[in-house]
Structure formats: structure tokens, C-alpha cells
Amino acid sequence: MTGKSTLNIRFDNTYARELEGLYIPWTGAPAPAPKMLLLNTTLAEDLGLDPAALASREGLAMLTGTAMPEGAAPLAMAYAGHQFGGFVPQLGDGRALLVGEVINRKGQRRDIQLKGSGKTPFSRGGDGKAALGPVLREYILGEAMAALGIPTTRALAAVATGETVFRDAPLPGAVLTRVAASHLRVGTFQFFHARGETERVRKLADYAIRRHDPDLDGRADRYLAFLRRAIARQMALVAQWMAVGFVHGVMNTDNCAISGETIDYGPCAFLDSYDPLAVFSSIDRQGRYAYDRQPVLAQWNLARLAETLLPLINPENPEAALPAAQEALEEAPEIHAAEWRAHMGAKLGLARGAQADEGLITGFLSLLEGQKADFTNSFGALAPALQGDQTRLSGLLHNAEGLEGWLTSWRKRLEQEVGGAEDAAGRMAAANPVYIPRNHLVEAALSAAHEEDLVPVRRLMEALAQPFTRRAGFEAYENPAPDNFGPYMTYCGT
């Protein structure tokens, strides 16, 4: 892990350059004994970064925030946020550092950010650090999400710092390197809006437009159009979460990215048995961010974004911009519903889930709910059922009243699709994952990692890297949690 200065990274730091006053230049804390735990070589190469250089001494110094290479412009971003409905005017990067931006192989701009690199002016009472478990958890879940084809921030590296961090118990410290289309959040806009700094909100919005919706740049109606884009991206994202049974857990406005990527894997989890009211976060006592509430809460977050844009949409009279913003927001439920029908319909083998299919989809979900049946495996059992082997499905839904009736309507509906059962089974195979990051598997892998055994983490990630392809040797990764597992709780801010 030694080497000379090989970290030849071509940074192009637009955030630092164009948004002065909207962040604080900052540096990381030293890490006494950095050690690479996981390095995403495929992602590194996509970003034009040399994996060997990232693993060198200089690379590890960057990936822990200890010392930055030439061209980096490390900074802590300011943001606010509604947390569980209550407004917190100042949150910000309390333990994160934006290292800089690079352009990937596809010509897309990507942020490289560290999480757990030490205190910043936004740390409040926190230590600015991250513990090994949550770092690996975000790595595993984020990469699983990417493999499922769902927009998400990515994990480039997990590096142990050699330091002990103190939570309920002493824990090994680590830093996650996260890659994102940007780290602009609804809360970033709220920070400046709440301070009445309209010109800064405008700078931020123009920047966001250049970065995420460049075709809107310079248009007179760009702020309203940008709002519509942000709404469309977020609602499409949540529909995809719903289709794989993902519960984000802390959909606060500071965890809602303008890019439409899943961001901040804290107390999140995938459903085992289907329960629309499932909540995994220890701090979500009201069930505010339960599985089924996610579309409504996403819309609520987008309404907070809309508020910050009103003075840009109509500078003379922000209130007069309200009806147009309202209209954009009112479209959110239908955007979600259409995306949801498309994704859920595909899980049933439909080429295009139409409005008339909603009953068929909810009908199947009701069967699952009544049986507390495994969400992923029940959908996975549909393709074999269609092809004549109903044993798995009947086993999972053994007491479900109405299963036969539902199957009859489903088969009838599929007869209307061109391509017949074979095409339908193909669509189902592409929409129903075999492997998801099941909570008990993630926990077991993290426990092993605490004993310095990363083999289970690597093996789990191997299963999750091709979630739609059943492979020999990974049988155990399909199984739901044993009965004695749970209720599952996850914790954030750790």
C-alpha cells in the first residue's frame, strides 16, 4: 500500500468555484492507521480513477480526508431540513466533506464525497465520525440499489481509520467515499430560503439547472420547469422503491436529492414479509416514513422545495406563483401512480401496467398482506406459476383466500399481452429480483466485519451484484429471515 504520487485526478470543482458563500472550505481529520476495506474498482474505472492509486498511501489519505491531492477543493456544504416534520434551519455536512467533482466515462459530472472524515463547522454536538457498521451498510445497500437499476448514490470505497469511535459502545471508525450526481438536497434550498437569501437560492437553482436539467438553462420559465423535473424524478424514484420493497426510513428534506437519486442510507431496510405499515427506524415512532407513506411524504418534501422557488418563479409577487407551483405538485400523485403501475405491472408480467390494472396489482398485494408473505419471493414465484409450477407460490400463500380467483384474473389479463406466457415470464424475471439485501444477511455480514472477517460482506455483495440472476451457491441468500429474527430495528446518525 505504498507508492509515489500516482493520484492524478482531474477535478473540475464547479460547486466550489461557482457557489462561493454557500459552503465552507474545510479539511478532514487525520486517520491514524487507514486500511482499505472495500474498493469499488468498476466504479473507480468508470470515474477515470486508477484503483491502484486509490489504494496507495496517497489514495488512502484522500479517502479518509487526511490529506487532499492536487486539484481537490474540499468543502462542507450548508443545508437545512425538515426532520420528521419540524424545521431545522441549520444541518449541513456535519461529518461529510465534498472532495471535488470529476467527469465520468459517460461525460457525466460526479461528486466525490467523504462521510465520516471528522468535525466540520456543521457538526453541532457530533464527533464528525462514522462507525464501521453503518459505513459498510451504506456501501452494501447503495450498491445493491444500483444493481437493481434504481437511481442512487454509489459507494467508491470504505476505509477503516484505525480509530475508535464512541457510540453506545466503542466501535471501529471508518470513512465511506460516496459518489453522487450531486449532493444538492431540498434542504440546501431551504437553508438559504429560510434566511431570506433569495439571490443565493437563485444561484443555487441556476446551478442545479445547469447540472441536472441543462436544457432548461436560460429559459424564462426555468424555475417552474425545474420544479416539475425534480417532482418527476423523485416520484419515479419512490415508485421504484415501492416495487422492490424498500423503506428509506428518514425521508427528511435534507435526505431528498434534487437529482432523484436515493441518498443517505441510514435506518433503511427492505421488506421481508409484506406489511404496508412497515417501519424499521428506531426513531420513527409515529410511522411517518412507513413503506406505504413514502409517496405522500415525497410529495410533502417537494412542496417544501416549491416554497423556496416561489420568489424565483415570480420575483415581484411570490404568492402569485403559488397556483402554478400547486398545479405542478398536484401532478405528483399521478406521476407516481403511472410509474408504480409500470414497475408493479412488470412484476406481474405486464408490458404496460394501465390504470385498469391497479386492481390486479393491489389484489396481489392484499393476498400477501393477509398472509404476511415474503414480498420478494412471492413475486418471484409468479413466473413459475404462470409456466405451470404453482408449488412455490401456493407454499408462500398457503392460506390465502382468493388466490385461485386472483390467478384466474391474472392469467386472463396476460392473455391480452402479445408474446404470451414466455414474454411475460421474461418481463417478470427482469422486474423481480431473486436477491435483495435481506436484513438478517446484512446484519450477519456486518457482525463478521466487526470480527475483521470481510468474506461474508464480499459474498453478499456478489449475490447482490446480479440480483435478477439465480446462481448456484447462493441459495441461502434467497431465504427470508428465520422466525427468530426481528422485529428489525435500525438506527441513524451512527
Instruction: Report the interface residues with ligand AMP, using CB under 6 A.
Output: 91-96, 122-123, 126-129, 250, 254-255, 264, 266, 492-493
- 256 or 407: whose CB is closer to ligand AMP? 256
For the CB of residue 139, give the shortest distance to Mg ion in the complex, in Å. Answer: 16
User: Collapsing DSSP states into helix, strand and coil, what is residue 111?
Assistant: strand
- 286 or 479: whose CB is closer to ligand AMP? 286
For the CB of residue 123, give the shortest distance to ligand AMP in the complex, in Å. Answer: 4
Taken in order 79, 84, 87, 90, the sign of the CA dihedral is negative
Q: What does 248 bind: Mg ion, ligand AMP, none (CB cut-off 5 to 8 Å by kind)?
A: none
DSSP 214-277: GGGTT-TTHHHHHHHHHHHHHHHHHHHHHHHTEE-S---GGG-BTT--B---SS-EE-SB--TT
- 84 or 406: whose CB is closer to ligand AMP? 84
Nine cell digits for residue 238: 419512490
- Which amino acid makes up residue 453? D
- 264 or 357: whose CB is closer to Mg ion? 264
Q: What does 380 bind: ligand AMP, Mg ion, none (CB cut-off 5 to 8 Å by kind)?
A: none
Q: What does 92 bind: Mg ion, ligand AMP, none (CB cut-off 5 to 8 Å by kind)?
A: ligand AMP
Task: Check 111, 206, 213, 254 and give the catalytic one.
Answer: 254
- How far apart CA 245 and CA 417 sit, in angstroms, is 26
Nine cell digits for residue 130: 462514522
Instruction: Say which residue the cell 472524515 belongs to.
Output: 117
Q: Which residue is nearest to ligand AMP (CB)?
A: 126
Which H/E stretch holds residue 76?
Answer: strand 75-77
Total residues at interface with Mg ion (CB under 5 A):
2
For the CB of residue 125, give the shortest distance to ligand AMP in the complex, in Å. Answer: 8
Q: What does 56 bind: Mg ion, ligand AMP, none (CB cut-off 5 to 8 Å by kind)?
A: none
- 114 or 324: whose CB is closer to ligand AMP? 114
Q: Which residue is nearest to Mg ion (CB)?
A: 264
- How many CB atoms within 10 Å of residue 402? 12
Nine cell digits for residue 389: 409450477
**Region binding Mg ion by CB under 5 A among candidate stretches 67-75, 233-241, 257-265, 278-286:** 257-265
- 390 or 494: whose CB is closer to Mg ion? 494
Residue 261 touches Mg ion, criterion: CB under 5 A? no
- How far apart CA 97 and CA 116 sit, in angstroms, is 8
- Residue 431's closest CA among 379, 377, 472? 379
Residue 264 touches Mg ion, criterion: CB under 5 A? yes
Q: What does 41 bind: Mg ion, ligand AMP, none (CB cut-off 5 to 8 Å by kind)?
A: none
For the CB of residue 289, give the shortest distance to ligand AMP in the complex, in Å. Answer: 12
- 95 or 347: whose CB is closer to ligand AMP? 95
Residue 169 phi/psi, 5-degree rounding, is -140, 165
For the CB of residue 187, give the shortest distance to ligand AMP in the complex, in Å. Answer: 9
For the CB of residue 266, give the shortest distance to ligand AMP in the complex, in Å. Answer: 5
Is position 275 annotated as part of the catalytic site?
no
Per-residue DSSP letter, 161: E
For the CB of residue 191, give the shortest distance to ligand AMP in the complex, in Å. Answer: 11
- How far apart CA 151 and CA 432 sit, in angstroms, is 17
Residue 40 touches Mg ion, criterion: CB under 5 A? no
- Which amino acid makes up residue 435? Y
For the CB of residue 120, give the shortest distance to ligand AMP in the complex, in Å. Answer: 8
- Residue 148's closest CA among 482, 490, 465, 481? 465
**Region binding Mg ion by CB under 5 A among candidate stretches 8-16, 248-256, 306-314, 379-387:** 248-256
Per-residue DSSP letter, 11: -
- 175 or 342: whose CB is closer to ligand AMP? 175
C-alpha distance from residue 16 to each of 13, 21, 71, 164, 335 (Å): 6, 9, 11, 32, 34
- How far apart CA 10 and CA 381 sit, in angstroms, is 48
- How far apart CA 354 and CA 357 sit, in angstroms, is 5
Residue 213 touches Mg ion, criterion: CB under 5 A? no
Residue 255 touches Mg ion, criterion: CB under 5 A? yes
Residues serving a catalytic function are 254
Residues within the interface to Mg ion (CB under 5 A): 255, 264
